[in-house]
Amino acid sequence: MVTKLKSTRYHILLKLLAFLMIALALTSAFVLLLSIVMMEIPFETIIEPEYAESREFNIRGYSSNMYDQTEWNQMRAKALPRAQIFGASILLAIVLLIYLTNVVGQNEKGGTIHLSWHDKIPSDVLIVVYACVVPIWFLLMEVILFRRVYSTNNIDWELGASGVVTFLLISALGLYYVSSVKQIKAKTFIKKSLWFQVLYWIYDLIKSLFDGRAFSKNGLTKSLFKRQLVFIVASAFMVFLTFVFLMVPPLMLLPPIMECVIIYWFIKGNRKTYEAIDKGFNDSLEEQMKAERMKIQLITNVSHDLKTPLTSIIGYVDLLSKEPLEEPAREYVTVLTEKSDRLKYIVSDLFDLAKSTTGNIQVDFEEIDLKRLIQQTMGDLSDEIEKSGLEFKMQLPEDAVLIHSDGKKLYRVFMNLIGNALQYALMGTRVYVTLETSESIAKVSIKNIAGYEMTFTEEEVLQRFTRGDQARTSEGSGLGLSIAESFTHVCGGKFELVIDGDLFKANVSFPVK
């Protein structure tokens, strides 16, 4: 592992040095070339040692200066070394550029291509960004060489400043080159560019209009799409024939007649497809309703059939509890009493839920005081509240809140909701029970902090036999919230659950009289 890390660092260092050497070599070549120009040395001095051979150069008018051989030799002595270093710098830059192009993007020899955040920027965006560097370089070079902001003819200063600016330009362009090479190696240079993505999106959109991919999973909609495509193409062809037959009067009526036939075929075919889709939809809906009815009937029948033997079990357990039993047997009877009572409540919940779901439940609507009903529910559960270790905070209006509902069913709703808070709220926290009225709506909210991680949604926890405590460390049938929702709807109200992090909130709303 250590050897691999050292190898990675070694390759990164080599690539960085190669990058800097390329920038320095190209900068050096540019500065040397610029120095020859600034010293007004003719480039002929590099290839022509004798001034006499270069006189044609002066005669043609390319230079207004006339040199003697001594001056020519002096200029050659200055230009020739610069030209040699220029060539060596260009050669070194080419060799290092080939090496860098080969290894860029790899942290080690033969490794995979790694893209940084900079390399993941679309290539056309990088072109626009780095293209802005070139005009800035031209502007700075103009300031340095022509405007002479320091009012000096110091060539060394001008060459140094030009070298710094050019080094920064080459470094910036080098970053773009390296990033482009990485993208080309990773095959993202074109695919990830914005223009390619836009063009591909347009192409895919046009293609989706004609290939019917969205309807491939359903044979009826697929045939409908194909028929529509044939209709469009055939209609377009008829329009074309209409213009063609304008020059042949006897044939002018042929395309409209053919178009009428095509329209008839299109409408008739679509009607058959729509009828098949409608039949399939109705059959599917009927199957779902049938399955739901069978489920409800099963629950109702099982609940009803369990009541008789369960009543007998509870009766005999009660008789056993009155007999003089020894301590182990009495403990067993106590457990039987608790479990049979719990089973009785579960069967009762099942029966009530089945009746409310099917609508076969008697509802006695009357005018009730919602505030007093909440207070009554809290009073009946006062012992459980005191033992729970939870602090209940009630926020009720001073005046009565009258609604038209079934008091017994609504009492069961609040018993279930408060019981749910007693069972699942975090120990030592507060439970808020509030009643608010606004715009002729009375809204009861019960909020608590859950004592476990709630990894379910509002819809999931309302399913029958679904419990929020997945570990099932507490007793419960998983029907409490489902019954509360069903009874609320039966009583003419609206039921809503809100889960926000560890906050569990149940809202029950009714119209105010």
30-64: pLDDT as tens digits: 998 888 888 878 888 788 787 766 655 554 444 55
How many whole angstroms separate alpha carbon 44 and alpha carbon 55? 10
Contact partners, residue 105, CB within 8 Å, separation at least 6:
113, 114, 115, 119, 181, 182, 185, 186
Could you report the per-residue pLDDT of 165-224, keeping only the tens digit for each? 999 999 999 999 988 888 888 888 888 888 888 888 888 777 766 665 555 566 667 777
For 11, 46, 286, 464, 479, the CA distances from 419, given in Å and listed in that order, are 67, 100, 37, 17, 12
Provide the pLDDT for residue 264.
86
Whether pTM > 0.75 for this model: the answer is: no
Provide the pLDDT for residue 109.
52
Three-state SS across 104-151?
CCECCCCCCECCCCCCCCCHHHHHHHHHCHHHHHHHHHHHHHHHCCCC
- Pull the structure tokens for residue 351: 């029966």
| 106 pLDDT more than 80 | no
Provide the pLDDT for residue 94.
93
Q: Taking a C-beta distance cutoff of 8 angstroms, is the pair 385, 422 a contact?
A: yes
Question: Residue 113 — pLDDT band, cuts 50, 70, 90?
Answer: confident
SS3 assignment, position 361: coil
Provide the pLDDT for residue 439.
78
Helix H or strand E segment including 292: helix 254-321
Hunting for tokens 């347009």 — which residue is that? Answer: 202
Mean pLDDT calculated for residue range 244-253: 74
For 398, 400, 432, the CA distances from 395, given in Å and listed in that order, are 10, 13, 8
Provide the pLDDT for residue 341.
75
How many whole angstroms separate alpha carbon 212 and alpha carbon 379? 64
- Pull the structure tokens for residue 449: 């902090």
Q: Taking a C-beta distance cutoff of 8 angstroms, is the pair 79, 36 a contact?
A: yes
Of 343, 348, 357, whose CA–CA distance to 297 is shortest?
A: 357
How many whole angstroms separate alpha carbon 511 and alpha carbon 513? 7
Three-state SS across 32-58?
HHHHHHHCCCCCHHHHCCCCHHHHHHH
Question: Residue 484 — pLDDT band, cuts 50, 70, 90?
Answer: confident
Question: Residue 29 — pLDDT band, cuts 50, 70, 90?
Answer: very high
